[in-house]
Amino acid sequence: MSNNWMQERRRDYYYRKAKQLDYRSRASFKLMQIDDRFNIIHPGMTVVDLGAAPGGWLQVAAERVGPKGKVVGVDLQPIAPLEGVQTIKGDIKNEAVREELLTMTNGRVDLVMSDMSPNISGSYSMDHARSIELCEMAMAFALRTLSPGGNMLVKMFEGDLSRDFIDELKKHFANVKRYSPEASRSSSSEIYVVAKGFGKSKKGQDG
């Protein structure tokens, strides 16, 4: 880990703010900004976070669903305990992990979210394709588990496969939007896709 990278991170506004407010990652502010814009998290919801480590999104989700809600996170890496949050250490590709998630949520999920990223290879076309693969995995889980009217949030690296993924989402959700929160680094090619209204498909407005 280079000294320049560490110095840049310490200068990063959202990194510092996360430290000050005891959030586990700067990504917490991305979710706050997305939810403030699109209102995808409501009190009492059941939320599943795929690729949840270290837990920044879990913290925000738990705050916003409140004591009557439920938040479950899954990741290949262990997630340190968080109040009001259940976690699974495992691979979402594994059917046993998916079944455990269904059991923990009583088969009812209101929001599926994924901030998963592929291991960066240095080849953007390859990284983009792997990102879309992760998005499709999250979508498959959402289509299986979401309650009618439920929402989905997924991170995607932009590229030539993005349009087909967006078009597929529009078949299942009433409204699909691309969004880049302020907390995303300007140098990043990531974009967040917000899909609302599961099972109420119409020609979504993409923007």
Q: Which CATH number characterizes residue 143's domain?
A: 3.40.50.150
Name the active-site residue from 30, 70, 155, 177: 155
Q: Helix 162-170 crosses helix 124-145 at what angle (to 10 degrees)?
A: 10
Looking up tokens 């939007």 gives 177
Residue 92 lies in a domain: yes
pLDDT at 204: 43
The total domain count for the chain is: 1
pLDDT at 202: 59
Residue 172 lies in a domain: yes
Q: Is 203 a catalytic residue?
A: no
Segment 26-57, tens digit of pLDDT: 899 999 999 999 999 999 999 999 999 999 99
pLDDT at 155: 96
Segment 83-99, tens digit of pLDDT: 999 999 999 889 999 99
Residue 206 lies in a domain: no
Residue 112 confidence (pLDDT) above 60: yes
Residue 131 lies in a domain: yes
Residue 104 lies in a domain: yes
Residue 20 confidence (pLDDT) above 90: no
> How far apart, in Å, are the Cα atoms of 91 and each of 5, 38, 94?
30, 29, 5
DSSP secondary structure string for all residues of 89-109? ES-TTSHHHHHHHHHHTTT-E
- DSSP letter, residue 55: -
Residue 182 lies in a domain: yes
3-state SS assignment for residue 69? coil
Residue 205 confidence (pLDDT) above 50: no
pLDDT at 11: 53
Segments forming the whole domain that contains residue 163: 27-198
pLDDT at 95: 92
Residue 19 lies in a domain: no
pLDDT at 17: 80
Percentage of the chain beyond pLDDT 90 is 71
Segment 167-189, tens digit of pLDDT: 999 999 999 999 999 888 666 77
- Name the H helices within the chain: 3-11, 13-21, 27-38, 56-65, 95-104, 124-145, 162-170
Residue 159 lies in a domain: yes
